[in-house]
Structure 1
Amino acid sequence: MTTIAADNFLKNTFSAGSIMAFAISLPAYANNATYCVVTPAQTQTRIVNPPTTTMSPEVDGMYLSMKTRRLIGEHGVGRFNRFKQLRAGWDAGRGLPLDVASVQTMESFVNALPFEPPQVALFMSAKGHPILNWLDQNGGAIELEFGEDSVNYYNETGELEEDFSLSHIDHLVASLSAA
């Protein structure tokens, strides 16, 4: 086992296309310096496919508003962060990555919503569109799939399915407020 100063840790760790595996302890502090305990592994691991980011810069930089975070809760925020990492082909070869414009449509809708439905769940369609759903007061599903410039609305109790353009999102909000 070797103890080294943290600022010297990354020096000389790469050699000939492979990387030495290490176990690293949490940082410790002594004599005004930061130290980590580094334990070299017995073998070297060859890097076959170096990891690359799974997100486009637009998706990586995407965040949810506080109102949306509150609406979908901690579990929904975690799901959103996992959705951001999905690549094309995630759904048996047909799923698309999270669509930035559709997330913006969802944000516009949530910001226009004058109430917060209880227990809202977040899903993602194979098209890469976010989906919000919850139960109405009769126990029927309300489901909203957000596209780039539209929202598909489904109301199980009223047996109603309708598409709303982004420019008519206020009509959807009024429909939901009345339901």
Structure 2
Amino acid sequence: VKVTNSDTGESITGSLELFKYLNKLGRENGIGIIDIVESRFIGMKSRGVYATPGATILWKAHADLEGLTLDKEVIQLKDSFMPKIAQLIYNGFWFSPEMDFLMAGIEHSQKNVIGNVHLTLYKGNVIVTARDSPMSLYDVDVVSMEKKGGSEKIDYDPIDAKGFIKLNALRLRLAKK
């Protein structure tokens, strides 16, 4: 992972240096601070104030790349793992067999998540301004509703959606009887 500040041209690649740098930028912009009341492992409530500005910035960039490079169903399945992974980590079960199982799935899902994300930090927000990836699943020709034929790799006509829409609306028409 490499972070380049477009204002200064400075680039950081080392893990520790990168986190220190992003933590500094994130703190300066009010990013990554939460104040919550949570349930501990044994059930009692506790208040936690967590500051993770660098991780929040990296997570936002990574999640954006996932949206560009992962299939919809893979994203939904991966996201369904996250509450369980968080619970296992919070409760100290990092080295459990269930964690190994979940992490194997996460690691497999990430094989095509590569690319570049451009961010702006502003008043507590991490704003994605651009992204690109050689593994992008986005094809403007395929998603266009004006262009018949899709791209050279994908044969698609927007009119193909008509039957799908009618079929999916069938249950709604039946419910209105």
Give the TM bin, normalised by the shorter chain: under 0.3
Larger CA Rg, structure 1 vs 2: 1
TM-score, normalisation: structure 1 = 0.21
Task: Say which structure is richer in helix.
Answer: 2
Q: Which has the higher contact order (CA 8 A, sep 6+)?
A: 2
